[in-house]
Amino acid sequence: MKRHGHKKRMLKWGLLLSTLIIILYVLAVKGIGITHHATNNDYGWNLMLVNHENYIPHNYKVELTELSNGEKVDSRIYPDLQDMFDDARVQGYGLFVAAGYRTTKKQQQLMDEKIDAYKNEGYSSSEAKRLAEQWVAIPGTSEHQMGIAVDINADKTINSSDAVYTWLAENAHKYGFIKRYPSDKTDITGVINEPWHYRYVGKEAAKEIYSQGICLEEYIDELDRNK
């Protein structure tokens, strides 16, 4: 009888453990109940570091200004963004904001579409997800969701994309914007080269980041060391 009771208890605990494992797996897949590290604003709203390790705080609020083409940006970056575009156009460059603020729902849609595209190429679900995350920020970690990043494209009836990207790379820092994902910083940012993606950090920080040839992660590390 004792042996039979022991087996029943072992079976019961085994079932409970199996159920717990299944529940944890489902939560992990759906991203439910997982605590993420929220970024802070120790150095101001314009220097909040958002990446795959630092999520946007749940209570983050943004006031938006709508651009002429319907895209929206954080109202605080609008004046400098407009100045940058005005000066570029005076110099003969045609450019426009292809993407500004995004909702979490839109960011998730972009991620799902990219994952599906890789799956259609024959990649496994896990590999498709890994590859997609090199192109699309995980929902909750996109600067677009903060309204302080813009994807800038060329009006190709006026000039080429390369011409616009070159002008931005050489001049955006004067207006408080940085090329967020340089080709030589992929190992730090975790994102491939995106010559169209510009992030607002303010004029002082942008000039320092540009002059030192560093990325935002390195700049924040520098600020942390000098506290």
The one catalytic residue in 194, 208, 217, 218 is: 194
Burial of 203 (C-beta count, 10 Å sphere; 0-12/13-18/19+): middle
pLDDT attached to residue 227 = 85
pTM recorded for the entire structure? 0.81
Kindly give, in sequence order, each residue whose CB lies less than 8 Å from that of residue 88, ignoring residues fewer than 6 positions away.
95, 164, 167, 168, 171
What's the pLDDT score for residue 14? 59
Q: How many residues does the chain have?
A: 227
- pLDDT computed for residue 29 by the predictor: 45
Among this protein's residues, is 194 annotated catalytic? yes
pLDDT at position 36: 79
**C-alpha torsion sign, points 39, 209, 46, 142:** negative
pLDDT per 10-residue tile (average), the chain, 227 residues: 57 62 51 69 96 93 96 98 98 98 95 96 95 90 96 97 98 98 94 95 98 98 94
